[in-house]
Structure 1
Amino acid sequence: MNIRPSAAIRQNYNEIAEQCRKTAEPVFLTKNGEGDLVVMDIETYNRREKMLKLREELLAVEEDRIHGMKGYSVDEVAAMMRDAIKGAADHGTAE
């Protein structure tokens, strides 16, 4: 874990930015000895956001399953996809 005083971002921006990109780890900034901000490169931020969104979606699906919502097997999904593709192809040739 990399912890720096908040003044470091003004004095060493390029160094901190390079470290974030190189390590894909955040830098924690303190103000008056207390945690204040977290700095990370945009790729790491986007990757974390995507992971959080995926986890939220998986949790929602799991909650639905626990509450008895019907799910579909892989074979059922494949059949639905084939039907949808066939329907789209049939629709396209009818015009």
Structure 2
Amino acid sequence: MARKECVYIPRIIPIRDLKNTTEISKMCNESPELVYITKNGYGDMVIMGMKAYEEKLYMLDVYSRLAQAEEEIHEGKAIDARKALKDLKAKYGL
């Protein structure tokens, strides 16, 4: 069976709609995606709900840690886990 992907259609609203703060807040909190604000037909701002913001920050932290781990591997600061476990077993007679 084919895997079903969730596709979000970006929400784009004109800046004049920001007057209705309750509706904008509801829109931001109902969607995990960003809400794009346009001014004179061009992109001006992006807003999002707190949950989406926290998820984006979390993923940025994950990507940063992965990049750091990749760098440590390339610098030779990391060792193979199987070899490390084998060495520890030999050292402690396990």
- TM-score by length of structure 2 reads 0.70
Which residue in 1 is equivalent to 2:92?
Answer: none
Higher helix share: 1
- Aligned residues with identical type, % of pairs: 30
Deviations along 1:7-43, one digit per CA (max 9) or x if unpaired, are 1112x22112111111222110011211111010011
- Displacement of 1:64: 1.3
Specify the SS of the correspondent of 2:79.
coil
Within-5 A mapping of 1:1-95 = 1-10=10-19, 12-71=20-79, 73=81
Shift, 1:69, TM fit: 1.5
Amino acid at match of 1:56: S
Gaps of 5+ in 1: 80-95
| CA RMSD between the two structures | 2.0
Letter in 1 for 2:13: R
* Partners of 1:39 and 1:8 in 2: CA distance: 13
Give me the whole-angstrom Cα distance separating, in 2, the residues matched to 1:70 and 1:50.
24
Q: Which runs of 5+ in 2 are unaligned?
A: 1-9, 89-94
Normalised TM-score (structure 1): 0.69
Q: Distance in 1 between matches of 2:52 and 2:13?
A: 19
